[in-house]
Structures are given as structure tokens and as C-alpha cells.
Amino acid sequence: MRKFNYRVPRFPVDLPVLLAFGESTQVGRCLEISVEGMKLEAGQPLSPDSRGTVHLTYLGIAVELSIRVAHSGSSFDGVTFVYDSEEQRDKVSQLVSLLSRPSSSRSGPVVIS
């Protein structure tokens, strides 16, 4: 019998983010988000397994949290969230919930269908 690893739902979005790795910061775009992490388009390639922070804001919800680069590619990177508290996890869940609503009931970035 095969074991299936189920992933949490991911939602396509277009949301600006600020990435910080050590002394380096860069602007990027979140292309897809879930409560576990995000798919990013960064200005410069990210090093696999590097750690940093991401800052994103949507409808007054500002989130800054630690990340680990899980995947680095030529056109996008994938990062996982490293939560410091349940409060951070709840805030990201709230943000993902807002971003996943149908576009007619929210303003801001468009969820790509």
C-alpha cells in the first residue's frame, strides 16, 4: 500500500514581500501561499537551506516571520515558514484565509485562477 503525503491547500496570489537574509534585503513577489510556506519570485536566487525572514502585508495584517529556503530554482523559490509562536501561525492562517476568498469579496492583489 502506498503512503500519501497530503499537502495543505495552496493559493495562487500576487503579493509583494520583503525578504531579509543576514545583512541583505530584497523585494520579491509571493506567487503562491499556504499556512506552511510560499512560492516566491525573488530578485536574486536564494540559497537552498538558507534562513531569513519574510515580511508581508495585506488588508492591515502585517506578518514578519522566519523562513527556510526549501527549493531554489531558475524562475521561482520555495520557502517554508518557521513559526516562533502559535500567535504567528494564527496570523498567517488569517492572512491565507483572506487571500483565498473569492476575488469579488476582497480588495487588493488578485488571486490567480
Q: Is residue 72 part of a domain?
A: yes
Q: 112 exposed, middle or buried (CB, 10 Å; 0-12, 13-18, 19+)?
A: exposed
Number of domains comprising the chain: 1
Query: Does residue 88 belong to any structural domain of this protein?
Result: yes
Residue 59 lies in a domain: yes
In tens digits, the chain (113 residues) has pLDDT values of 666 666 788 899 999 999 999 999 999 999 999 999 999 999 888 999 999 999 999 988 899 999 999 999 888 999 999 999 999 999 999 999 998 887 645 455 554 44
Does residue 33 lie within any of the structural domains? yes
- Name the percent of the chain in helix, strand, coil, to the closest 5: 15, 45, 35
Question: Does 71 map to a domain?
Answer: yes
Per-residue confidence (pLDDT) for residue 75, from 0 to 100: 87
Please state the pTM of the whole predicted model.
0.83
- Please indicate, yes or no, if residue 104 is contained in any of the structural domains: no
- Residue 93 belongs to what domain range? 11-99
CATH of the domain at 55: 2.40.10.220
